[in-house]
Amino acid sequence: MRRNPNDLQRYTASERLNHWVVGICFILLALSGLAFFHPAFYPLVQLFGGGTWTRILHPYVGVVMFLFFLVMVIRFAGLNIIEKRDVEWLKSVNKMVDGDDHDMPEQGKYNGGQKLLFWGLVLGMLVMIVSGVLMWRAWLDLPVTVVRIASVLHAVAAVWMIGLIILHVYAAIWTRGTIRAMMYGTVTRAWAKQHHRGWYRKMTGDNS
């Protein structure tokens, strides 16, 4: 895709790579995790070379995802602090759902919904990594009660994360022009002005 010099850079190449590594790891973890969640999904282990390899690879992929996700948190946490204007945006979210988003409160690089999603994912990831480590019998020999509680928490956190990611993907598809930002790193000025006016002003100096 040829870059328009008038477009605004939303993500750098390293930020996009970071995002896609986390995304790919999440898909692998969801598929392998589902294989152990219910017998109906067990055939998914064939994607990883069988049940044994699936059980071996799942936690290591989880560690990789956590490390790359941690980098994302360090990069974007400051941009996801919820402000008063985000609360106002959330109160008016029904307008956006109805397609009338032109009068929404001005937002920075991320809107109130994106910020809630971010912190929801952070919470889910913390529960996932802690419970996952407690379940990792190859490295820890904990009481069976601890492992069982960790297993339940891990499953609940997994459902929570899958739900949030589905919401994330749906919102990205629904808001036309958003996927382009993570594919190529840029957005049009019109997109930025409509959806993230505060960020648009900061990037361009245009106060119109």
Catalytic residue among 38, 102, 168, 196: 168
Helix (H, G, I), strand (E, B) or coil at 6: coil
DSSP letter string, 127-193: HHHHHHHHH-TTT----HHHHHHHHHHHHHHHHHHHHHHHHHHHHHHHSTTHHHHHHHSEE-HHHHH
Residue with tokens 């328009």: 4
Per the annotation, the verdict on 19 as an active-site residue is no
- Identify whether the C-beta of residue 199 lies closer than 8 Å to the C-beta of residue 181: no
Q: Give me the active site residues, please.
A: 168
